[in-house]
Amino acid sequence: MIRTVRVMGDPVLTEEALEVRDIHHPSVKTLVADMWDTMADEGGIGIAAPQVGVPLRIICFGLDEAQSTDRPAVPRTVLINPKVEFLTDETEEGWEGCLSVPGMRGSVPRCTRIRYTGFDLEGRPIDRIAQGFHARVVQHEFDHLCGKLYPMRVKDWTKFGFTRALFPPKDEPGE
């Protein structure tokens, strides 16, 4: 079931989310199914529970097919009670958008290599190393659980704005 996406300004997005105590509680399965439905409906790559108004530490992300060389496929993952460890001091800038900040894009510095851990819906541990775009997606979604939205991390304010202004549609050839 598609749920309403909370947008920037809603207090649930700037709160610290709570640990999931019982991963096997039926409401967790329903919530995750709804998060996937909502993400698909909005055309996102990731979603965090607070974005549908539920202050729990659950994120879903994934991109089945690469969109470009710097946006490769990312494994479809449900991550409950995640932890993120930075494996390098190296950061890189990259464009981000967010379902909770509709119509906008911003360039955000993110750590280039991370380890993330957590649990899947069955309670099995997940422990992965991720780099580049995959690492960026996880850091963006993890931030939602800490009450942080990507605009709070933008350093260069000339690279934050409306998508239609930052990336105007190209003129058709011959026009």
- Smallest separation, CB 135 to Ni ion (Å): 15
Backbone conformation region of residue 62, classed left if phi is above 0, alpha if psi is from -120 to 50, else beta: left
Q: Should residue 104 be labelled a site residue for Ni ion when binding is judged by CB under 5 A?
A: no
**Catalytic residue, candidates 90, 92, 122, 141:** 141
Q: What mask of x and - would describe binding to Ni ion in positions 44 to 83, judged by CB under 5 A?
A: ----------------------------------------
Residue with smaller CB distance to Ni ion, 82 or 89 = 82
Alpha helices in 82-168, H assignment, sequence order:
132-145, 163-166
The residue among 106 and 118 lying less far from Ni ion, judged by its C-beta, is: 106
How far is it, in rounded angstroms, from Cα 45 to Cα 64? 9
Pick between residue 80 and residue 98 the one whose CB is nearest to Ni ion. Answer: 98
User: How are beta strands 74-86 and 58-63 bridged, if at all?
Assistant: antiparallel
Closest-by-Cβ residue to Ni ion is 98
- Shortest CA distance to 5 belongs to which of 21, 64, 43? 43
Min dist. Cβ of residue 49 to Ni ion (A): 12
Closest CA to 56 of 83, 33, 31: 31
Nearer to Ni ion, 103 or 123 (CB): 103
Is 172 tagged catalytic?
A: no
Taking CB under 5 A as the rule, does residue 98 contact Ni ion? yes
Which part of the chain contacts Ni ion (CB under 5 A), choosing from 10-18, 96-104, 125-133, 160-168?
96-104
Tell me the C-alpha distance between 90 and 97, whole Å.
22
Give, in order, the Cα–Cα distances in Å from 94 to each of 79, 109, 110, 141, 150. Answer: 23, 6, 8, 15, 11
Contacts with Ni ion by CB under 5 A lie at: 98
Residues annotated as catalytic (active site), given as ranges: 141
